[in-house]
Structure 1
Amino acid sequence: MNAFLNITREGGIAILTMSQPETRNALTGNTAVEEFVQACADITKDTSIRAVILTAEGPVFSSGGNVKDMLRYQTQQLMPDVIREEYRNGIQRLPKALYNLDVPVIAAINGPAIGAGLDLTCMCDIRIASDKAIFAESFVKVGIVPGDGGAWLLPRAVGASKAAEMAFTGEALTAEQALACGLVSRVVAPDQLMPEALALARKIAANPGAVLRMTKRLLREGERSSLESLLELSAGYQAIAHMTDDHHEAVNAFIEKRPPKFSV
């Protein structure tokens, strides 16, 4: 089987394409988690990357966990402690890597995002959907709970009430319903999905890389910090930002009424 992720570059933008349409880009029973973790580590080290787009090959964004792979728990009669460790050392490494990635991430959702596939979109900062996309927190439909952090991720994307409705019913949302509840920020025609995602990524990548990473870190910390703690962190980051060449260039460009030329 081919690699799960196809990784390409356009300037300061990294494009991660899930490339196993034959499995509907399932996230388990393959090397998906390992590849995501490695890709996030590589992106973190490469300070020339200022934005990431996550999308998929084929008609499905991701079907989430491979249901056929779940049969193994029955046929091999695995004990609960073994299954627990498989989750901790498997799929749960994905949100730790992707959600905590310092670089802004845009999910370009081309088709159904189901179960862990939906949660994968919630690990990203911005979600753009094709009008062919549907979204379902469908774990309950196969008699399991969100094991990948979905119970933490989804309420932060759509609010507690909508997340509870989705998790308790397992029913799918259309792209327009996802837009209405704030799960995605825009819905576009399928042939406009990547052009829209790239245009947005270029706008992001046009800004200073170090400041983008610090800004994302503040947004992440703001989800779990007190205002006082976040203000302290913001003050420290701001002190760093004020001393960067890119800040000096931005101020001079503003005064001189010209476009800034930021470092690569």
Structure 2
Amino acid sequence: MTSADPVLYEQDGHVVTITLNRPDMRNPLAEDVIAALISALLRAEGDKAVHCVVLTGAGKSFCAGGNLNEIRKLSAEKTPLEIADWYRDGIQRIPLTFETLSVPVVAAVNGHAIGAGCDLACMADIRICGEGARFAESFLRVGIIPGDGGAWLLPRIVGHARAMHMLLTAEGVTAKRALDWGLVTEIASDADLLSRAQALAAAIAAQPPAATREAKRLMLKARAQSLADSLAEAAVMQGVLQQAADHQEAVAAILEKRKPSFEGR
């Protein structure tokens, strides 16, 4: 891994920080960044020693969205069907990858999260931001719509009316409004944002890791299930987890008033 890599992958204990690394361009989701980001996410998912991921951007912006130069070239050179294929084979692989992840992801939104960058933040399980953060679902400014899942993601986080407000006005949303609307759960100072996100990730990573991944799976599946189906899923998961060593260790540690030591099983 070098400073020239489009995405950086750094592990500290059970927490991995994935950083979009094109700060001179405000970290757009160019083709090389898309491929590297998906690779990094799948690497973290496949490593059972990773209990939580922090996603952020290098420099002064989280992610400026799509690469406008690539989009202009695409519009000039490809047919509508070829453009559709480009989306399916490119940027749409990001939300579909997030949908498969059991490892929790915390987005640390520094500076601008614009267009596809706003949607990328929405793909995380938890978002916190710096005081100078600004979000915008700004696709209409360039005459297109969210092609990367924003129309599905954003209303589930902030509600239909607020998502429509963001989409149809293309207005920027400040950190304070993002907190008020539930787009983020916390605002940190810009200087402390990454350390605060990593501390939050460490708190998540301190939970029993297998149960944490199953809890996330349960929550994700529940979005498309009836209550009865979700309860049935939970019953099966609970039956397995309550026979696991980490559950027994957690209960013993609470009763014995000591710190638990989990093995991931």
Query: Normalised by the shorter chain, which TM-score bucket?
Result: over 0.9
Match of 1:119 in 2: 119
SS at match of 2:19: strand
2:38 aligned with 1:44:
no
Question: In structure 2, how many angstroms separate the alpha carbons of the residues matched to 1:135 and 1:211?
Answer: 32
TM-score, normalised with respect to structure 1: 0.96
Q: CA deviation at 1:199?
A: 1.2
Match of 1:88 in 2: 88
Residues 14 and 53 in structure 1, CA contact (< 8 A), matched pair in contact too: yes
Match of 1:152 in 2: 152
2:131 aligned with 1:131:
yes
Question: In structure 2, how many angstroms separate the alpha carbons of the residues matched to 1:14 and 1:126?
Answer: 15
Match of 2:232 in 1: 232
Question: In structure 1, how many angstroms separate the alpha carbons of the residues matched to 2:246 and 2:74?
Answer: 53
Runs of 4+ with deviation above 3 angstroms: none
Match of 1:23 in 2: 25
Match of 1:101 in 2: 101
Q: CA deviation at 1:105?
A: 0.6
What is the 5 A alignment of 1:1-264?
Answer: 2-28=4-30, 30-76=31-77, 78-263=78-263
Question: In structure 1, how many angstroms separate the alpha carbons of the residues matched to 2:154 and 2:53?
Answer: 21
After superposition, give the CA deviation of every residue in 1:151-196 in whole Å (9 maximum; x if it has no partner).
0000011011100111111111011111110000111111110121
Residues 36 and 98 in structure 1, CA contact (< 8 A), matched pair in contact too: no
Alignment RMSD, CA only? 1.2
Size of the alignment, in residue pairs?
Answer: 262
SS at match of 1:26: coil
Question: In structure 2, how many angstroms separate the alpha carbons of the residues matched to 1:35 and 1:224?
Answer: 29
After superposition, give the CA deviation of every residue in 1:217-239 in whole Å (9 maximum; x if it has no partner).
01111111111111111111111
Q: What residue ranges of structure 1 are gaps of 5+ in the alignment?
A: none
Q: What residue ranges of structure 2 are gaps of 5+ in the alignment?
A: none
The range that moved more, 134-143 or 189-198, is: 189-198
Residues 75 and 83 in structure 2, CA contact (< 8 A), matched pair in contact too: no
Amino acid at match of 1:135: F
